[in-house]
A and B are shown apart, each in its own frame.
Chain A
């Protein structure tokens, strides 16, 4: 399927989320009438979506499930389709045990010597090592080959850290409307709670 660069950029920006409401509506219409274009958009969704793995999970309020099941009218039908094998019981998300702390922490944003400190040190280290030990995150299933090792991993890690540092510590001094000021508009205290870290740990086996 050949689409112009304009179309491809439009699809990409739809997936990225930067289009305005009118443009989004346009893309959604195009997706309905042109299946090929829909596939282009969905391919972009899938390519960008792994970025979600860097987002810390946050527990929604308990009543949300009630709302959802009420909207869908769940629990009203007598006989749900029989399930041959009962679902394996998975531990509730929030009860996932947190590994005992080990003092290893791939803390991001360690500035290289000589690099000027950011003007203000943001509360970047949102999880401290004593709250959340990344090294104890669940391992991938045994039968899955380990992810690639070697330079591609190192490259990816370097890229990730570089990106995060870029996000976290703008190198430029703050101007009145600058990103740095915006970024700093957060709580003055580190506020990543171990609870969300636990949730992160629990979901990580799906690459979260």
Chain B
């Protein structure tokens, strides 16, 4: 079982070019990264490409991981998710939903965690999200989990784009205040 400490050690070894450590790191995290990316892109072939690129980046930038700033998986997920969003936005002229979908796994809502499994970081962000109006909560969560753009949110919520912009902006500022971010 790979604990955050295990993963941190693996990443440190990867930074020194340890291929065995890299494979272990891959084995311990591949399903999480693929799950996150597939949910956003909803196409296995594209998701595979994105996860592949993400691990290439992880290999190349392992030395930049700073365990004092966050957990290893958090770092890896952010890399993969940013990549997935970039790809999704560049493909935005083609609606992903019109494509042959693997929708049944990827368009679901996330599973709940037992509270004992929630990290303090997760609780904190959920608490702050919980202070938003329900529509805005849903907007932010769907943006995070499904990678929706403002345009897609506007469409799905039957809400004018400018309103969505205002809501998102306000929501993020409120979250920032709640989290006590500088």
Chain A residues engaging chain B, CB cutoff 8 angstroms? 1, 5, 8-9, 12-13, 15-21, 24, 42-61, 64-65, 67-69, 71-72, 74-75, 77, 80-81, 83, 87-88, 90-94, 96, 106, 108, 124, 126-127, 134-135, 137-138, 141, 147-148, 152-153, 155-164, 166-168, 170, 175, 177-179, 182-183, 185-187, 191-192, 196, 199-200, 202-208
Closest residue on chain A to residue B54 by CB atoms: A68
| In the complex, chain A residues whose CB is within 8 Å of the CB of B124 | 50, 156
- A-B pairs with beta carbons under 8 A, tally: 324
In the bound assembly, the distance between CA atoms of A187 and B85 in angstroms comes to 25
Contacts of A64 in B (CB 8 A): 30, 34, 48, 51-52
Q: Which residues of A contact B1 (CB under 8 A)?
A: 90-91, 96, 138, 202, 205
B residues 51-97 touching A (CB-CB < 8 Å): 51-52, 55-56, 59, 69-75, 77-78, 81-82, 85-86, 89-90, 92
A152 to chain B, nearest CB (A): 7
Question: Assuming the A-B contacts A134-B117, A137-B114, A202-B1, are A9 and B173 also in contact, with contact meaning beta carbons closer than 8 angstroms in the complex?
Answer: yes
* Chain B residues positioned under 8 Å from A43 (CB to CB): 181-182
List 4 additional contacts besides A44-B181, A54-B122; criterion CB under 8 Å.
Answer: A9-B169, A88-B6, A138-B1, A207-B73
Partner of A56 from B28, B35, B72, B172 at Cβ < 8 Å: B35
Partner of A57, one of B35, B121, B176, B179: B35
- Name the A residues within 8 Å of B111 (CB-CB): 54-56, 126-127, 192, 200
| Docked CA distance A167–B134 (Å) | 9
Q: Would you call A17 and B27 a contact (CB within 8 A)?
A: no
Q: With A179-B156, A185-B107, A205-B1 in contact, do A21 and B89 touch (Cβ < 8 Å)? A: yes
> Binding site of A, secondary structure by majority: helix, strand, loop or mixed?
helix
Could you tell me the dominant secondary structure of chain B's interface residues? helix
Query: A80 and B71: CB pair below 8 A?
Result: no
Residue in B10, B108, B122 whose CB lies within 8 Å of A51: B122
Q: Indicate the member of B21, B122, B175, B179 with the most A CB atoms within 10 Å.
A: B122
Give me the interface of B with A, judged by CB distance under 8 Å. 1-4, 6-7, 10, 13, 16-24, 26-36, 38-40, 44, 47-48, 51-52, 55-56, 59, 69-75, 77-78, 81-82, 85-86, 89-90, 92, 103-105, 107-127, 129-130, 134, 137-138, 140-145, 147-151, 153, 155-158, 168-169, 172-173, 175-176, 179, 181-182
B41 to chain A, nearest CB (A): 12
Within 8 Å CB of A153, what residues of B?
Answer: 115, 123
